């Protein structure tokens, strides 16, 4: 009497969202979101006090130096607030929430796994949201054709690298334009006030530009005066030019008259250092044992690359430089590559913890 006939339509499958654990997570997230909005309404931001906090934050030289990116395009200089600047402004502006979240994973038609990632910024007080969704393939391109990423740390770092710029765009979209402009003006004022024009600082400037084939004469011709008479504003400009060259976003010829540099054969980027290193190894291969040529030819180029990594002042800058370098790994031995990756990971942890 109690036997039931099986339904011709089959049994109802229980969706993941219908499980008890999923319902509990959804309820908790809903309650947390409601509390955040409620607290933002009960404790609205004091725009005058918060603006003072933002300006005070950008009086710190370290933050001021990391606050802007700059590169040359179409004959003009392009600059803007960095991700560190955007995060600092959002923190002091108050009642804002921002971040990255991995929404799902899948496998593409080409068999390469991918992650669907979302960058977001929420103004809890204004109840407005900016979101950017994008796909991150678990793939790293190289000259040999690229390979799939399997290590979770590599996948996370790839998503973080691609997501930082989108998160910056979301944060800037939620901030008043005049607040961002005031913060950047304060950063410029701090840099001008803290710019070091001492003889020791001038020697450091000359030494920093030397790997790019830029001499003291090139710098003096650009600033239209002797280096010992350089102005603080010009020191700030040179620092930004150096950062642009170091990150491979521009070439020396875009900033200086470099007619004689090509003849000197000077390297300009990490890529040029790697290419020169490969040529040196090929030329010495027939003359020296493998171990000897590694010690005498490999170390200088690798040390130069590690030195550039250690100079990176921002995670965006570091990731961009490392992404550009990974495409030239055929010129570097496995031992050298391990040293470079270790230096990259150490510097990234330091910057994230700063």
Provide the mean pLDDT of the chain.
Answer: 78
Residue 254 to residue 178: CA distance in whole angstroms? 31
Residues 6+ apart with CB under 8 A from 212: 245, 252, 266, 267, 268, 269
Higher pLDDT: 154 or 336? It is 154
Which of 312, 323, 279, 318 is closest to 298 using CA atoms?
Answer: 279
Count other Cβ atoms within 10 Å, centred on residue 221.
12
For 131-181, what is each residue's pLDDT tens digit?
Answer: 999 999 999 887 777 889 999 999 998 999 899 889 999 999 999 999 999
Is the Cα torsion angle 243, 249, 255, 256 positive or negative in sign? positive
Residue 284 has pLDDT above 60, yes or no: no
Which of 118, 88, 86 is closest to 100 using CA atoms?
Answer: 118
Residue 106 to residue 139: CA distance in whole angstroms? 13
Most confident of 8-12, 80-84, 299-303: 80-84
Q: Which residues pair with 71 in a beta bridge?
A: 78
Decide the pairing of beta strands 96-107 and 113-123.
antiparallel
pTM of the model: 0.58
- pLDDT reported for residue 299: 53
DSSP state of 297: I
If you average pLDDT over residues 275-288, what whole number do you get?
52
- pLDDT reported for residue 338: 72
If you average pLDDT over residues 264-278, what whole number do you get?
49
Residue 169 to residue 121: CA distance in whole angstroms? 9
For 202-245, what is each residue's pLDDT tens digit?
Answer: 888 898 898 888 999 998 888 888 888 887 767 878 877 887 78
pLDDT tier for residue 297 given thresholds of 50, 70 and 90: very low
């Amino acid at each position: 009497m109690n036997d039931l006939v099986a339904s011709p339509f089959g049994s109802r499958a229980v969706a993941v969202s219908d499980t008890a654990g999923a319902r509990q997570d959804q309820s908790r997230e809903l309650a947390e979101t409601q509390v955040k909005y409620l607290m933002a309404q009960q404790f609205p931001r004091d725009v005058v006090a918060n603006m003072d906090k933002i300006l005070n934050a950008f009086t710190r030289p370290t933050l001021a130096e990391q606050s802007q990116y700059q590169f040359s395009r179409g004959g003009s200089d392009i600059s803007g607030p960095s991700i560190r600047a955007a995060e600092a402004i959002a923190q002091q502006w108050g009642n804002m929430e921002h971040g990255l979240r991995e929404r799902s994973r899948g496998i593409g038609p080409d068999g390469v796994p991918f992650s669907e990632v979302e960058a977001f910024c929420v103004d809890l007080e204004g109840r407005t949201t900016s979101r950017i969704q994008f796909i991150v393939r678990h793939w790293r391109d190289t000259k040999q054709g690229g390979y799939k990423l399997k290590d979770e740390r590599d996948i996370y770092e790839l998503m973080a690298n691609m997501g930082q710029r989108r998160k910056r765009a979301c944060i800037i979209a939620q901030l008043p334009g005049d607040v961002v402009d005031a913060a950047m003006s304060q950063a410029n004022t701090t840099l001008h006030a803290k710019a070091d024009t001492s003889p020791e600082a001038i020697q450091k400037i000359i030494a920093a530009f030397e790997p790019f084939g830029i001499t003291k004469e090139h710098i003096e011709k650009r600033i239209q005066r002797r280096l010992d008479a350089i102005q603080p504003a010009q020191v700030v400009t040179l620092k930004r030019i150096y950062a642009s060259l170091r990150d491979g976003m521009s070439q020396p010829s875009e900033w200086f008259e470099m007619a004689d540099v090509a003849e000197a054969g000077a390297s300009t980027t990490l890529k040029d250092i790697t290419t020169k290193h490969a040529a040196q190894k090929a030329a010495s291969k027939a003359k020296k044992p493998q171990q000897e040529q590694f010690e005498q030819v490999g170390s200088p180029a690798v040390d130069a690359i590690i030195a550039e990594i250690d100079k990176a002042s921002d995670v965006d800058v570091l990731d961009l430089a490392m992404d550009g370098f990974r495409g030239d790994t055929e010129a570097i031995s496995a031992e050298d590559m391990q040293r470079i990756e270790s230096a990259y990971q150490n510097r990234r942890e330091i910057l994230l913890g700063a």
